[in-house]
């Protein structure tokens, strides 16, 4: 199968339960994965959890458990959530997986063989939370006079032997890479990264001796790798690195690393540098999406406004959540969400506009045509509507999804839905029923064709609901790709098969805002 497509999400740090941001990123990746499959590409989609590091070790210690126990439980919570969200990952990777340790050691050895790793000694202030070292001068004073990092996180004095990576050696190549159109999006991030590099790169400390929860450095068992070295490596672990093989040949370099805007630097500076050092190709694109705000405010434990994605799924269903996040938020920018906004948007666009369009149409076909379809000749108005729908479904939406402009693509789709509803009103098939039954049939079946296109187009976003619609229409499960939109023969085949439309069931019932919703 031609045209492979490899997409990854960041692997999530499971020192707590998954929050809305994890759901958002992974849903977006899944929409892309499903979209590319419908476009006929062979997709490999990987997500997972990043389980090493001092933060995990500390968290486990605080809970009186082993890091592994904590990792197992939390990673499980992530996997469970992603399964509920209908995420079609091909691999859920865990950095504690045996093959991942092997891959991490291999890339380490490749960098070492290149002469890019050297052992040195480090003394200074270290912030566990930031996983970073700070200069004495950078520190600020806390309320109680304690020393804090510039970010306000606690720091502790550390003296250790550590491995360094010759990051500065790759500065020129990295700038060149960052200037490559399409490598880093949104482009607004590009200047920041270039400025960071041109401000002078320091060699990167890439190992720790102060704890042992991580991947051991080859030949130096007292060192574990800096979490980012092993975390980033997950992207190639999942393809069989270092052994190579069919999957490796087919899918590396990745088409897209989808990540949050906060970790753009790790993915567009450190990661490419590691790969260059190991003589491996760099990823084709890194996209840093925005954050979701809860009514415009950042969620945090201290603010007590953390949303459990599972709760949203319980209340509103998976597809509603998926639709809202992809349609409401301009991809790449921060977005705001609330239960009210979700209910309003989903009810207006999915239930009232699209769902009801399908319901009223199928209901009329069921009642007035005994559910039977027949060949017909569309007139000018019918053709005009179908052209609008086809344009939105087969041209605009795919074009926008290809460039990750989901909200724009969905908007075009919605415009086509509006056109269908306006068409129903103009044609008034309920009146034609008495005056011109043949014409009524043509109108209803024109709508039938339109709904099929619309349902096919929106599948990546609302996979379960759209397939429910397509099932009711009688569209074969192997006739639902974007290529099938251009198939002119499917309706005739459906008629010939004698398909009968049953009494329809609303695919997108209206949502209700729970009473418990406060403020």
Q: How many residues bind RNA (CB under 7 A)?
A: 46
Site for RNA, residues 427 to 456, rule: CB under 7 A: 428-431
d(CA 225, CA 212): 9
d(CA 264, CA 268): 6
- Which of 283, 335, 460, 463 binds RNA (CB under 7 A)? It is 335
H or E element, residue 221: strand 220-225
What single string gives the DSSP state of each residue in 253-299? Answer: SPSEEEEEGGGHHIIIIIHHHHHHHTT-PPPS-EEEE--EEETTB--
Binding track over 295-314 against RNA, x by CB under 7 A: -x------------------
d(CA 407, CA 413): 10
In angstroms, what is the minimal distance from the CB of 330 to RNA?
6
Nearer to RNA, 24 or 482 (CB): 24
- Which of 192, 203, 212, 308 binds RNA (CB under 7 A)? It is 192
Region from 12-20, 221-229, 305-313, 332-340 binding RNA, contact rule CB under 7 A: 332-340
Nearer to RNA, 422 or 493 (CB): 422
- Which of 66, 173, 179, 191 binds RNA (CB under 7 A)? It is 191
The reply on whether position 294 binds RNA by CB under 7 A is no
d(CA 3, CA 227): 33
Nearer to RNA, 58 or 265 (CB): 265
Q: Residue 473's closest CA among 505, 442, 511?
A: 505
In angstroms, what is the minimal distance from the CB of 473 to RNA?
14
Q: How far is CA 323 from the centre of its chain?
A: 13
H or E element, residue 122: strand 117-127
- Which of 88, 307, 352, 481 binds RNA (CB under 7 A)? It is 352
The reply on whether position 356 binds RNA by CB under 7 A is yes
The reply on whether position 196 binds RNA by CB under 7 A is yes
On whether the CB atoms of residues 216 and 223 are closer than 8 A, the answer is: yes
In angstroms, what is the minimal distance from the CB of 264 to RNA?
8
Per-residue b/e over 72-94, b at no fewer than 16 CB within 10 Å? eebbebbbebbeebebebebbbb
Nearer to RNA, 97 or 319 (CB): 319
In angstroms, what is the minimal distance from the CB of 364 to RNA?
4
Site for RNA, residues 392 to 421, rule: CB under 7 A: 418, 421
Region from 69-77, 153-161, 210-218, 424-432 binding RNA, contact rule CB under 7 A: 424-432
The reply on whether position 187 binds RNA by CB under 7 A is no
- Which of 103, 254, 424, 449 binds RNA (CB under 7 A)? It is 424
Binding track over 41-80 against RNA, x by CB under 7 A: ----------------------------------------
Sequence-ordered list of residues with C-beta below 8 angstroms from that of 344, at least 6 positions apart, any chain: none
The reply on whether position 91 binds RNA by CB under 7 A is no
In angstroms, what is the minimal distance from the CB of 358 to RNA?
6
On whether the CB atoms of residues 480 and 466 are closer than 8 A, the answer is: no
User: How many Cα atoms within 13 Å fall on the side-chain side of residue 502?
Assistant: 9
Nearer to RNA, 173 or 300 (CB): 300
The reply on whether position 317 binds RNA by CB under 7 A is no
- Which of 62, 98, 135, 370 binds RNA (CB under 7 A)? It is 135
On whether the CB atoms of residues 344 and 336 are closer than 8 A, the answer is: no
In angstroms, what is the minimal distance from the CB of 513 to RNA?
13
d(CA 507, CA 472): 9
The reply on whether position 336 binds RNA by CB under 7 A is yes
Q: Which residue has the tokens 């980033």?
A: 232
Nearer to RNA, 139 or 306 (CB): 139
At 344, list the tokens. 């309003």
At 191, list the tokens. 């200047």
On whether the CB atoms of residues 463 and 86 are closer than 8 A, the answer is: yes
Sequence-ordered list of residues with C-beta below 8 angstroms from that of 329, at least 6 positions apart, any chain: 24, 290, 292, 335, 337, 407
Binding track over 487-516 against RNA, x by CB under 7 A: -------------------xxxxx------
Per-residue b/e over 317-332, b at no fewer than 16 CB within 10 Å? bbbbbbbbbbbbbebb
Nearer to RNA, 211 or 418 (CB): 418
At 446, list the tokens. 């024109």
Nearer to RNA, 85 or 351 (CB): 351
CA angle 102, 107, 111 (to 5 degrees): 145
- Which of 42, 77, 114, 150 binds RNA (CB under 7 A)? It is 150
Q: Kindly list the residues in this chain that would bind RNA in the complex (CB under 7 A).
A: 135, 137-138, 150, 188, 191-192, 195-196, 199, 262, 265, 296, 328, 330, 333, 335-336, 344, 348, 351-353, 355-356, 358-360, 363-364, 367, 418, 421-422, 424-426, 428-431, 506-510
């Amino acid at each position: 199968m031609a045209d492979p497509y490899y997409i990854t999400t960041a692997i999530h740090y499971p020192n707590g339960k998954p929050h809305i941001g994890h759901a958002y990123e992974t849903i977006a990746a899944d929409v892309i994965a499903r979209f590319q499959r419908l476009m006929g590409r062979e997709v490999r989609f990987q997500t997972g959890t990043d389980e090493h590091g001092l933060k995990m070790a500390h968290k486990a210690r605080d809970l009186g458990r082993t890091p592994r126990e904590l990792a197992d439980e939390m990673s499980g919570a992530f996997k469970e959530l992603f399964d509920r969200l209908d995420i079609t990952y091909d691999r859920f990777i865990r950095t504690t997986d045996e093959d991942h340790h092997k891959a991490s050691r291999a890339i380490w050895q490749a960098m070492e063989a290149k002469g890019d790793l050297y052992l040195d000694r480090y003394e200074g202030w270290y912030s566990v939370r930031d996983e970073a070292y700070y200069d004495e001068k950078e520190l600020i004073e806390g309320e109680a006079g304690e020393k804090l990092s510039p970010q306000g996180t606690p720091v502790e004095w550390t003296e250790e032997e550590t491995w360094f990576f010759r990051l500065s050696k790759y500065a020129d190549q990295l700038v060149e890479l960052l200037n490559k159109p399409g490598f880093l999006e949104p482009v607004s991030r590009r200047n920041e990264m270039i400025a960071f590099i041109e401000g002078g790169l320091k060699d990167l400390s890439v190992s720790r001796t102060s704890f042992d929860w991580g991947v051991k450095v080859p030949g130096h068992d007292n060192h574990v790798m800096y979490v980012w070295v092993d975390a980033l490596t997950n992207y190639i672990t999942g393809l069989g690195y270092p052994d190579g093989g069919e999957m490796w040949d087919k899918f590396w370099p990745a088409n897209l690393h989808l990540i949050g805007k906060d970790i753009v630097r790790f993915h567009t500076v450190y990661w490419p540098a590691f790969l260059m050092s190991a003589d491996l190709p760099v990823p084709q694109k890194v996209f840093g999406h925005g954050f979701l705000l809860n009514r415009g405010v950042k969620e945090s434990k201290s603010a007590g406004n953390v949303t459990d994605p599972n709760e949203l799924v319980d209340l509103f269903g998976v597809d509603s959540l998926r639709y809202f996040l992809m349609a409401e938020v301009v991809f790449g920018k921060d977005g705001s969400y609330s239960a009210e906004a979700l209910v309003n948007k989903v009810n207006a666009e999915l239930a009232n506009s699209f769902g009801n369009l399908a319901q009223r149409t199928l209901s009329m076909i069921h009642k007035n045509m005994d559910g039977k379809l027949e060949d017909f000749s569309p007139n000018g108005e019918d053709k005009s509507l179908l052209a609008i729908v086809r344009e939105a479904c087969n041209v605009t939406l795919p074009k926008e999804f290809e460039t990750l402009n989901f909200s724009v693509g969905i908007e075009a789709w919605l415009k086509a839905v509006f056109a269908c509803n306006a068409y129903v009103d103009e044609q008034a098939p309920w009146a034609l029923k008495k005056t011109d039954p043949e014409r009524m049939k043509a109108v209803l079946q024109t709508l039938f064709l339109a709904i099929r296109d619309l349902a096919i187009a929106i599948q990546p976003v609302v996979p379960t609901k759209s397939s429910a619609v397509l099932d009711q229409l009688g569209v074969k499960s192997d006739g639902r790709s974007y290529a099938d939109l251009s198939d002119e023969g499917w309706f005739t085949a459906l008629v010939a098969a004698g398909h009968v439309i049953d009494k329809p069931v609303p695919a997108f019932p209206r949502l209700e805002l729970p009473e418990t919703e406060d403020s």
